[in-house]
Structure 1
Amino acid sequence: MAHAAPRSGRLTPGKRDRKPDTDGSPRVSTDVFSERTHLVVRWVLPVLAGLVVGYWAAANRRSGGPVTGWNLLFGFTTALAFMVLCVAVRVAASRMKRELHALTWAVFLGGTFGFVYAQTDKTALRSAVMAAAVGAVVFAVLFYRYYTHEDAEGHRVP
C-alpha cells in the first residue's frame, strides 16, 4: 500500500514558502539546489546548449568533409546566436501566461531544430515539417507542465 512519506524538517538549504500549509506549519522548499547553483546553471546551460547546437549545425553543414575555417566560423556564429536567443526567450517567456510561455519555447526550439536540420541535404519542406513536429511536441510537454504548475495568471503553484 502506498502512503505519502512524512516530511521531516528542512529538506534543503532553500527558503521556506510564504504561505503556511493547511495545518498552519510553514512549508519547506523541496528545492534540492541552492540559489547559487540555480544562478550558475541559469547562465551555463545556454552556453553549453549553444556550443552543442553550433557543433551540430557545423557538422551537418560539412557533411563529413574536412573541417575548414568557414565551418568553424559558422559553428561559433550559430552557437552565439543560439545563446543570445535562448537568454532572450528565457527572459521574455517568463513574463508571459502559460500558453504563450509554452508557445514561445516551442517556436524557439522547433525553429532551432529546423535550422540545424536544414544544414543537411534535405529539402526546405522537410525541414519545416520536422521543425513543426518538434515544436508541437515541445508545446504539448511544456503546456502540460505549466498548466499543472502555474495558475491562470502565471504564478507558480506548489
Structure 2
Amino acid sequence: MAHAAPVGALTGPARTPDVFSPRIHLAARYGVPVVLGLVYGYWAAANRRDGGPITGWNILFGFVTALAFVVLCLAVATFAPLLKRELHSGVKSAFAGAAVGFLYSQSGESVLRSTALGLAVTAGVFLVFFYRYYTHEDGEGNRIR
C-alpha cells in the first residue's frame, strides 16, 4: 500500500527558524566581543602580575589589552567572511594563535615557546575552520545556507 510523501521530503531539509530578533543579534554581535575582550584583558593582566599585587599599571595594561582584543575581534568578524575560504580560515586562525601566544608570553615564558605555541594553535584552528568552510561552500565559494 502506497502512502503520500511528506511535503518537505522532496525539497530538502527545512531551514531552522531564527528565534531571536534583529535587536538581539545586534547586541550579541557587539556584546560577545566586548565580554571576551574583558575576560582576555583580565587574563593577560593576571598572567603579567604573576600573583603579585594589583597595581594601576596592571589595571591599565588589562584594559588596553581588552580594547585591542575587542577592536581586532570585531575587525576579524567583519572582514574575514568577505574573503575566500582559505584566507577566511587563515585570518581567524592567525587571530586565535596570536591571542594565545600573547597570553602565554605574559606568563614570563620565552618568545620562542610563545611563538611555537601560537603557531601550533594557529595550525589546529586553521584545520578546523578550513574543514568547516570547505564542507559548507559550493565549488565557487558561495556559502550553502
* TM-score in same-fold range (> 0.5): yes
Counterpart for residue 132 of structure 1: 119
Deviation at 1:149, TM superposition (A): 1.2
Deviation at 1:153, TM superposition (A): 3.7
Once the two structures are superposed, residues 1-59 of structure 1 have per-residue CA deviations (whole angstroms, 9 ceiling, x without a partner) of xxxxx89xxxxxxxxxxxxx78358x642145324332221111110110111011000
Could you say what secondary structure the match of 1:67 adopts? coil
**Amino acid in the other structure paired with 2:94:** V
Q: Percent identity, please.
A: 53
Higher strand share: 1
Matched, 1:70 2:57: yes
CA shift in 2, pair 1:103/1:151, >3 Å: same
Counterpart for residue 10 of structure 1: none
CA distance in 1, matches of 2:82, 2:142: 10
Specify every segment of 5 or more residues in structure 2 that has no aligned partner in the other structure, as ranges: 1-5
Counterpart for residue 33 of structure 2: 46
Higher helix share: 2
8 Å Cα contact 1:98-1:152 kept in structure 2:
no
8 Å Cα contact 1:62-1:71 kept in structure 2:
yes
Matched, 1:29 2:10: no
CA distance in 1, matches of 2:111, 2:11: 59
CA distance in 1, matches of 2:71, 2:82: 18
Once the two structures are superposed, residues 97-130 of structure 1 have per-residue CA deviations (whole angstroms, 9 ceiling, x without a partner) of 1111000001011001111111011110000000
Alignment length, in residue pairs?
139
Deviation at 1:155, TM superposition (A): 2.2
Specify every segment of 5 or more residues in structure 1 that has no aligned partner in the other structure, as ranges: 1-5, 8-20
CA distance in 1, matches of 2:81, 2:112: 31
Deviating more after overlay: 29-38 vs 42-51: 29-38
Counterpart for residue 71 of structure 2: 84
Task: Detail structure 1 runs of 4+ shifted over 6 Å in the superposition.
Answer: none
CA distance in 2, matches of 1:24, 1:121: 57
CA distance in 2, matches of 1:33, 1:129: 42
CA shift in 2, pair 1:62/1:88, >3 Å: same
8 Å Cα contact 1:60-1:120 kept in structure 2:
yes
Could you say what secondary structure the match of 1:112 adopts? helix
CA shift in 2, pair 1:24/1:139, >3 Å: closer
RCO greater where, 1 or 2, for CA within 8 Å and sep 6 or more?
2
TM-score normalised by structure 2 residue count: 0.86
**Amino acid in the other structure paired with 2:118:** A
The 5 Å alignment of 1:98-137 reads: 98-137=85-124
